[in-house]
Amino acid sequence: MGIENDAEANIKPNSNKATIYQPKQQLQTCLVIRDGVPQEINACGLVVGDIIKIQTGKRIPSDARVLQCTQLKLETSSITGEAEPIDYTSDPVPETINIFESKNVAFNGSLCVDGEGIGVVIRTGVETVIGQIATLTTGQPNKKSRLEMQIKMFVKFLIFMALTIGTIVFVIGGFVHKWENVPMLLATSYAVCAVGMVPEVIARRLASKHVYLKRLDIVEALGSANIIATDKTGTLTKNVMTVTDLWYHDEVITNLSLGEKTNVTRSIENYESPLSDLLLAMTICNKAQVINNNEETVISMQTLPKLDSKEHQTITT
């Protein structure tokens, strides 16, 4: 009984190791410009002076001074506690302003919710603001609450009683049966313990198949699942949404994601509505980049509208 109680007490933390291990392997990556060429590297490889690109939906990999930006908005709740996104700028600010109130310094861990920009790394690792906060919090001793201490004492008492009663029952049973079939008696005891280890084994086997679950009770429903619905094409595998089919004017264009290229030979005004409106919206909202394969590479921002979204003309559909 004592072994069984101890095993069941460790099921949840051990089974969660597979889930915790996955995010540790997925290191944060960032887009850095080195030798005039954008490169995607791990954030831990950044050094002071690197030029990084700030993109919508990405977190800032280090403290950086914003050099150039377009409608840049950052969510800095992990640093300042403000839930609302803050507008950032590349303009200089007076030295008297607190660094936390500065609008041209992006902090590590901040989330870019709109716009994009270019910044130079000024602090990395534990030298960043979030790194210093983490150092202060982790350096404090982990004090247990009174309830945790009482629960720990109660569990120890249960384990002691289980071991005592189990030993007494085992000895009495041995004398009653004249110590016959002892291996069978031990096997029966360990079989009960093995049942409690099943959830942990399931989590490890799923992890070996690259399946990670936060709640093990979800596994029970997998056996009766007939259809598993996933997100759009490429969202889970490449983190990129891909257009695969296009239907327009009673004509279906398929296999767009298999490498086929559609050349636009006419201007937007030559297309009929609503296709012209759709193309105009796609042109304004796209973030296409021109990649120069020659030796000379021009560093430029992605295609973004010059005006604020509120100032754009309304597109009727």
Per residue in 88-109, pLDDT (tens digit) is 988 888 888 887 788 889 998 8
In this structure, is residue 27 part of a structural domain? no
Which of 189, 220, 251 is the endpoint of a domain? 220
In the chain, how many domains are there? 4
Shared domain for 111 and 70, answered yes or no, is yes
In this structure, is residue 38 part of a structural domain? no
Domain around 307: 270-317
Q: What is the mean pLDDT of residues 2-31?
A: 50
Which of 104, 138, 172 is the endpoint of a domain? 138
Compare 172 and 49 and report the one with higher pLDDT.
49
- CA 170 to chain centroid, in Å, comes to 51
Shared domain for 99 and 179, answered yes or no, is no
Shared domain for 148 and 286, answered yes or no, is no
Shared domain for 255 and 274, answered yes or no, is no
Answering whether pTM is above 0.75, one says no
User: Using CA atoms, how far apart are residues 12 and 295, in angstroms rounded to an integer?
Assistant: 55
Check pLDDT > 90 for residue 120.
yes
Mean pLDDT, all residues of the chain: 72
Q: Is 286 left (phi over 0), alpha (psi -120 to 50) or beta?
A: beta
Shared domain for 214 and 236, answered yes or no, is no
In this structure, is residue 29 part of a structural domain? no
Compare 30 and 237 and report the one with higher pLDDT.
30
Compare 123 and 235 and report the one with higher pLDDT.
123
Shared domain for 7 and 154, answered yes or no, is yes
User: Using CA atoms, how far apart are residues 292 and 97, in angstroms rounded to an integer?
Assistant: 41
At 51 the pLDDT is 93
In this structure, is residue 36 part of a structural domain? no
Shared domain for 214 and 78, answered yes or no, is no
Radius of gyration of the chain (CA): 30
What six digits make up the tokens of 68?
């150039």
Please report which helix (H) or strand (E) contains residue 248, including its range: strand 246-248
At 179 the pLDDT is 73
Check pLDDT > 60 for residue 194.
yes
Percent of the chain topping pLDDT 90: 9
Residues forming the active site: 231
Which of 105, 138, 171 is the endpoint of a domain? 138
Check pLDDT > 90 for residue 310.
no
Shared domain for 18 and 77, answered yes or no, is no
In this structure, is residue 52 part of a structural domain? yes
Reported confidence tier of residue 3, pLDDT bands at 50, 70, 90: very low
Sequence-distant (6+) residues with CB within 8 A of 242 are: 232, 233, 234, 256, 257
